[in-house]
Each structure stands twice: as C-alpha cells, then as structure tokens.
Amino acid sequence: GNQKATHLENSEGKKSQHAEEAIFYMNCRAAYLTVLKSSLENIKSKEQLSLVLQQAGRNPSQKTINKYWTSQTTSLNFDDFCAILKKEKPATKKELLEAFGKIDTDKAGYILHDELYKILTTRGDKMTCEEVATITKQADFNCSGKLDYNKFCELYLTTSEQCCKAARDRLEVDPRLRQQQFGNQTENSSEGITLPVSKPSPRISRKTDHKLAKGDSRAPSRPSSAQSGKASTSTTVTAGASSSRNAKLIIEPDTMKEWQCAQSKGCFYLEEDGEIISHKYRLHLPQRSAVCITIKPLSIPQAEGKSCRWLSVDTALFILKENETQENLRLVSFTELQHKEMFGWRGELGSGVYWLLPFTTGCRLKKVKTQIPAEAKLVWRDEDGELALTEEFQAALMDIFETIDLDGNGLLSLEEYNFFELRTSGEKCDQEAWAVCKENFEMKKNELTRQGFMDLNLMEANDRDGDPWDLWVTLLSLGYNKALEMTEACPFVIDICAERCKPRIKAISLEAGGSQLSRALCRSVVNKGEAKVLDGSENIIIHTYKSGSRITSVIENKSENKVIIHVNNEQSKNCLNNRGLTVFAVEVAPKSMMVSQHVMPLNEQEEWIYSCVHSLV
C-alpha cells in the first residue's frame, strides 16, 4: 500500500512537472509569435530581443540585453529565447518594493518626483527627462509631486500579466500559430549538433562563435508533445559494475622509454548558462611518428574535507588535422580507450599541424545546488592592522596557480597569465603592464612566481581595503563556490609521446567547442557506433556509440524536412544524461545530424542499463 501510494505521488509529481513545462513553453511561444511571424524565424537584433522579452512579461535592462547579445551575436533562435526566459525570471512585487525601499529611506511609501528624476536620469539604464515625465504624469500613482510606488508596482505587474495574456489569447485564436511547437532556423548541411547558447562569464568578454555553422541545430529540452510516435526504435545497452574501467589503455613503459614527450594542462569551466568552455591546443609534429595521446582530470591536493568532484568528470580529446586553413579541419581520431580516469589514443600521425579539442559530456560537470554551511573568509588583519590572506584562501590560490601553469614549470608566462585574466576579468595584460608587474612582484626569467601570484592577489585585496568582492568574482569565475570548493570546473592534463620526433603542444584559446568540435563529435559516433533506422522512416537513423563509461547517441536526418524526435529514457537504470531530463524532444534540421544525448552511469560500482526509445513525432 505504501509502495503504491509512493508510486502514485511520483506519477502525479511527474505529471505536474510536465504540465508546468508545457505552460512555460506555451508562454514562450506566445510571446515569440507576437513579434515574429514563425518560431522558425530568428531574432535578428537587440531591439527584437527586447520586444519579445517584454511580451513575455520581462522588463530587460540594457545590461541584460547586452549579456545575451554580444558583439559576436548575429541571431538568436526560439530555443535561445526559451533558455533566456528560464534565467530571467519576472520581477516580483516584493523585489520591486525592496528596490524602491532603498530609495525611500523614511519608509513613507512615496518618492519625490525631483528625486525620481535624479535617479532615473543618472543611474543604470539612464532615461531621458521625457521618459521620466511619462511616468510622473500618470494619475494612477502620482499625487502632489510624489510617486506612490506601491500603486506603481501593482499597475506594473498587472500590465505585465495583461501583456502575457494578450499574447496567449492571440495564440489560442490562431490555429496556424498553435501548430508551431518548436523552431530552429538552420541552413541545410550534412552534419551538425545541438549547441548551448554562448554567453560571457561574469567578468569575461571573450570571442565566441555565436553564429552556428551550417547544419548546427539546437535541441529544446521540453516535454513531449506527442503521445504516440509515427515511427520509433529502441536501443538497450547493459554494462556491468565498473565495466568502464576494464578497457585498458595499452601503454607499454618499456617500449616508450625512449619516446619524446610533451605535456600541457588546461581546464573545463562551467558557464552560468551551463555551457562548457575549455582551452584548445595546436600540436606540431616535425615528422611522421607513432604517437600516444592521453587526457585525464588533473589531481590537485585538496585540503581535508574539501570536495574533489572534478576527478570523476569524463574527459576526451578530438584530434583534427589542419590543412590549408584553420577552418578546414579534418577529424583524424579521438581518445576512445579508457583506463581508470584516463582516456587515450595510440596510432601513427603524419608530420604537420593538428588541433586538439578537449571535450566533456556535461553529465558530471553541471550546475548543482548545494548547501554551503558558511562562506569562507579570504582576508584578515593582523595585530598591526595589516591585511593578510587566510590560510584557506592561500591554499585555493596555490591550486589555481597549479591549474593555470599550463606547462607545469612552476612559473606563469605572460601567455599563461593572460588565460587567467581573460577568464576572470575579460581583459588581457599587455607587455607594458607585464613590465609593471615585474617591478612590483617576484618574477624569474620574466615569468611570475607563486609568491608573486600570491602578492598580486593580496594587492587586489588592499586596493579595496579588505573588501573581498573582487576576489570572490575571480574565484567564482574559476569554478569555486563560497566554501572554496572547486565544483564548476575540471582541470585536466594532456600528455603526448612520439617515437620519432619531439612533439610541441601550445594552448591557443579558451572558448566553447564550437562547430568544429560539434562536427567531430557527430562524425566519431557515426563512424564507430551502431546504426538503427527508425521503423517506418528509413531517412531517420539513430547512431549509438559506447566508449568506456560513456554512451552517445546521434540522430541523423536524411530527409528534406525537419523532424521532431521524442526521446524516452524511462526504462534506463542507474544512468544520468547531460540534459538532466528523462523524457524530452529534439528537432533535427533537414539533411543534418545532431547529438541526442550523452549518458553515463550514476554509480559505476553498480550495473547500469541504457534503454532509450527514439520516436518520430
């Protein structure tokens, strides 16, 4: 009886969650179609983005718009819009009243028009005098030169809801609009993959390819709109406990003693929107040689009791050959062999330049809400009133130094330091600024020492008179939480050994994988995986590939039309996927392919069963 009751509660909970998601996406679609003719049409300007957000009951500031529409953005599609709405929650009455309360220090419930003019025309998104006048002239909430902000908030929220309702009503009365369930506008191509929206970190303005390459498609993580599929296929893979650790990477120390090696560190960083960025590398081989390439999480000694979550994060490297141009890269191979936490590849490579693109599925490196017992203290004052860094913060800085010292020589070159700067502040340090650093902080051979790095952070604390705000921005952008645990980053190390020449590896950029990685990922699964045609639809093929402890499925659409595929993992056991949803739907553009999902065991010490049904909606 208790089991039945629990099952019923879980079932009702799932129904409720699906209902909430359905309402959310209906509201998204209603707002989108108020401004654009179709959900297949893309947002093409900041102004359009602002309009659709307003139709969805949001009141975005210019800062918010700039966060999602950077200098690199050319368009945003419907899926991007939905992702933005999930992050930008509508303002509540409590939040609005608290904001006005900071101005109304006397708690009178009113703000003088003169004070309102001063604030609205000089702070934040500065308004013109005419724009402020339109607010102060409204009789509903103005009287005797004062604004009644309680009434203003009520009218604001009512207007916002009316705006959303009008959009929904328009959707309901127009059957043509109601049918537009999903929408990704992409050009035809032979391959592509779902990509998350690229957005800058809190203090970073990096160059990211927002314009999707041909055939790139994005998968909306939404409730299924189809109760019955026209065509479907199921795939089941059963893996025993710890079976992922049995496929040993063959490294023969005796035969590789004379091989020449190179090494570089790097890091995966988790963005606010869940996107993952990492270092990218260029590898140069002077001549043809047998080569062994490996990647694994970097083991950093952590203080007792600190989490080491990143050590369980899966890693991979895709090896691409550079031809005439950097854009024209050809997939050579990828690290499919696994031994414990290490993934590797062995084979022969010809002379020339290669690109190494690190990859992680996002199954284990993802946003997780955890309770922080208490915020760590970063600075303190000694008996003389001098600022000093706490031992706990110093330990974290040493770990950070270890991670950003890419060549592992115990010093930070200007190039290495600039990766750190770009990640944490969005700016680069030029030669002149580096010379100033050299005058003030310890350096050796024009490279910053560990002590110099510590002193630099102490100077930043002194610049703000002990206020740790800037220090926390740095730590958070590097994946640390307020307990000084690295929870949203995964440092890794790449080793390359060559039999007949000295390999050279160099970190070139720190950015999202982009279309090159997307195509390489899809191509690797199609080349190596098992292919199944959807029953009753010969143009839709599901490719499934298991590599060590990872399973990746790719949907290939050979037809002339876009398709929506319903994905159901309810029969899987002891699994987690990169989407965080058991049931979802994806849209695949004509003549393209994209990743459906990545799956890994939840607990590797137990058997895990991947059982997935792909159905055509």
Residues 474 and 421 in one domain: yes
CB 77 within 8 A of CB 192: no
Whether residue 238 is contained in a domain is answered as yes
Residues 14 and 116 in one domain: no
Residues 577 and 549 in one domain: yes
Whether residue 257 is contained in a domain is answered as no
Whether residue 437 is contained in a domain is answered as yes
Q: Which domain holds residue 466?
A: 368-487
Q: What is the CATH number of the domain that holds 115?
A: 1.10.238.10
- Where a domain ends, among 32, 63, 90? 90
How far, in Å, CA of 293 to CA of 488, rounded? 26
Q: Which helix (H) or strand (E) holds 284?
A: strand 276-285
Q: Give 267-301 pLDDT, tens digit per residue.
A: 999 998 888 999 999 999 999 999 999 999 998 86
Higher pLDDT, 332 or 300: 332
Whether residue 27 is contained in a domain is answered as yes
Number of domains composing the chain: 4
Q: Which of 56, 63, 113, 45 is nearest to 82 (CA)?
A: 56
- Where a domain ends, among 90, 121, 142? 90
Q: What is the CATH number of the domain that holds 25?
A: 1.10.238
Whether residue 418 is contained in a domain is answered as yes
The pLDDT, as a whole number, for residue 521 is 93
- Where a domain ends, among 56, 90, 124? 90
Residues 398 and 481 in one domain: yes
Q: What is the CATH number of the domain that holds 236?
A: 2.60.40
Residues 147 and 168 in one domain: yes
Residues 373 and 483 in one domain: yes
The pLDDT, as a whole number, for residue 255 is 67
How far, in Å, CA of 477 to CA of 425, rounded? 9
CB 39 within 8 A of CB 29: yes
The pLDDT, as a whole number, for residue 118 is 83
Residues 456 and 375 in one domain: yes
Average pLDDT over residues 101-124: 82
Q: How confident is residue 119, by pLDDT bands cut at 50, 70 and 90?
A: confident
Residues 116 and 68 in one domain: no
> What is the longest distance spanned by two Cα atoms in the chain?
90
Straight-line distance from the first to the last Cα atom of the chain, in angstroms, rounded to the nearest whole number: 37
Q: Give 231-240 pLDDT, tens digit per residue.
A: 888 888 888 7
Whether residue 224 is contained in a domain is answered as no
Residues 29 and 114 in one domain: no
Residues 474 and 383 in one domain: yes
Q: How confident is residue 195, by pLDDT bands cut at 50, 70 and 90?
A: very low
Whether residue 160 is contained in a domain is answered as yes
Q: Give 148-170 pLDDT, tens digit per residue.
A: 888 888 888 888 788 778 777 77
- Looking at residue 61, its amino acid is S
Q: Give 54-77 pLDDT, tens digit per residue.
A: 888 888 888 889 889 988 888 898
Lowest mean pLDDT among 213-217, 319-323, 369-373, 492-496: 213-217
Beta strands in 350-453 (DSSP E): 352-359, 379-381, 387-389, 443-444, 447-448
How far, in Å, CA of 496 to CA of 590, rounded? 39
274 Cβ neighbours under 8 A, 6+ residues apart: 196, 362, 366, 367
Residues 97 and 86 in one domain: no
Whether residue 248 is contained in a domain is answered as no
Mean pLDDT of the chain, nearest integer = 82
Residues 477 and 381 in one domain: yes
